[in-house]
């Protein structure tokens, strides 16, 4: 009897136990027990020797990497919704299918954006550092005053699934009025938010600005020094989208100069490196890319990525194809 060999799939990092177990049920798996991201040569080796690769945001799948020959891989299943680390044009050219994991991370990422709003408006990062330093002398009526979040005006840039989920939380949970800017009008949010006429108009009339657009050549440094200067001086900037959307150096300088009141960031231009001036900037809450980091969501993302691999490697249309 002929033995039917199973597809060979490489996992570029450790994924959740549920994800890895499901992948092992379906494929011959090469895992990455050391959990260290592959460099370009390592990624080329995976593409040359596997039918599919389960990858994530730390894997720089550039044209030079994808161009490896001979190439065995047919599918790149990204565990994450953002695919700016994959050259999709090159993937299309080389006949590689690319998939992502939309929907399942919407709630957790929106929750984290709200957490950053509260932390930054109420200066909670600073407060916790102060308490742990042993210098707290007890409650005083004027001690460590922040800004109220409830009832303020929120401006959302990028009004897709996550932007709308943030709008709902902000409006229904905190009574905030919401405006958004997006190149496309008419997003289906039941009339909750109004569309700003321009990015500049939104920046100049929002107490909190939250970024939810994808990283593309068009959105690179969308918030540059001049636009940051359009924000109101008591305004805070929240970024749970991608670091490239903000000119990090310009933001750091604006925070040091008091051009805006604070920033809550989960993503950075050169992860895992941090801009040194951001680290020392006042009222800046810095998180290590945790938007979708709950067990529930990482299981759902991993299982979705594995299902995309299964479908594509069996000749079916993968549910979440993006190239």
Q: Which tokens belong to 5?
A: 């060999």
**Tokens 């004027």 sit at which residue?**
142
Name the residue whose CB lies closest to ligand DGY.
80
The length of the chain is: 323
The DSSP annotation for 265-286 comes to: ES--TBTTB--HHHHTSTTEEE
Question: Which residue stretch of 80-88, 117-125, 192-200, 250-258 sits at the interface with ligand DGY (rule: CB under 6 A)?
Answer: 80-88
The single residue among 105, 149, 165, 167 that binds ligand DGY, judged by CB under 6 A, is 105
> Using the rule CB under 6 A, is 81 a contact of ligand DGY?
yes
Q: Which of 7, 52, 82, 262 binds ligand DGY (CB under 6 A)?
A: 82
Q: Which is nearer to ligand DGY, 104 or 121 (CB)?
A: 104
Active site residues: 242, 271, 289
Minimal distance, residue 112 CB to ligand DGY, in Å: 10
Footprint of ligand DGY on 32-61 (CB under 6 A):
56-57
Interaction of residue 106 with ligand DGY, rule CB under 6 A: no
Angle of CA points 15, 69, 66, to nearest 5°: 45
243 binds ligand DGY (CB under 6 A): no
Distance from C-alpha of 101 to C-alpha of 103, rounded to nearest angstrom: 7
Please report the DSSP string for 193-259 in residue order.
EEEPSSHHHHHTT-SEEEE-PPP-TTTTTSB-HHHHHHS-TT-EEEE-S-GGGB-HHHHHHHHHTTS
Please state, in angstroms and rounded to a whole number, the distance separating the CA atoms of residues 41 and 23.
Answer: 24
Map the footprint of ligand DGY across residues 204-233, applying CB under 6 A: none
CB 152 within 8 A of CB 176: yes
Binding of ligand DGY by 7 (CB under 6 A): no
CB of 28 to ligand DGY, least distance (A): 26
Closer of 206 and 292 to ligand DGY (Cβ): 292
Question: Would you say 196 or 215 has its CB closer to ligand DGY?
Answer: 215
List residues near ligand DGY by CB under 6 A: 56-57, 80-82, 105, 291-292
């Amino acid at each position: 009897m002929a033995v039917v060999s199973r597809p060979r799939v490489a996992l570029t990092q450790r994924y959740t136990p549920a994800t890895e177990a499901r992948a092992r049920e379906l494929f011959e798996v090469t895992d990455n027990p050391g959990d260290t991201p592959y460099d370009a040569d390592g990624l080329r080796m995976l593409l040359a020797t596997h039918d599919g690769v389960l990858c994530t945001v730390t894997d720089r799948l550039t044209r030079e990497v994808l161009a490896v020959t001979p190439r065995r891989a047919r599918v790149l299943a990204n565990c994450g919704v953002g695919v700016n680390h994959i050259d999709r044009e090159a993937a299309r050219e080389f006949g590689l299918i690319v998939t992502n994991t939309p929907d399942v991370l919407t709630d957790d990422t929106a929750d984290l954006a709200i957490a950053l709003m509260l932390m930054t408006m109420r200066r909670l990062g600073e407060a916790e550092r102060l308490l742990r330093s042993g210098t707290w002398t007890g409650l005083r009526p004027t001690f460590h005053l922040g800004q109220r979040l409830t009832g303020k005006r929120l401006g959302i840039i990028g009004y897709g699934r996550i932007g709308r989920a943030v709008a709902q939380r902000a409006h229904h949970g905190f009574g905030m009025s919401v405006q958004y800017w997006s190149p496309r009008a008419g997003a289906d949010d039941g009339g909750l938010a109004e569309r700003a006429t321009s990015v500049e108009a939104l920046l100049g009339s929002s107490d909190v600005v939250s970024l939810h657009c994808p990283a593309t050549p068009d959105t690179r440094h969308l918030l540059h020094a001049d636009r940051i200067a359009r924000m109101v001086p008591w305004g805070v900037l929240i970024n749970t989208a991608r670091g490239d959307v903000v000119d990090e150096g310009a933001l750091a300088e604006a925070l040091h100069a008091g051009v805006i009141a604070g920033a809550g960031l989960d993503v950075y231009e050169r992860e895992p490196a941090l801009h040194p001036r951001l680290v020392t900037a006042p009222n800046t809450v810095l998180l290590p890319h945790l938007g979708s980091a709950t067990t529930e969501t990482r299981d759902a993302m991993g299982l979705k990525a594995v299902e995309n691999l299964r479908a594509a490697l069996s000749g079916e249309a993968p549910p979440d194809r993006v190239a």
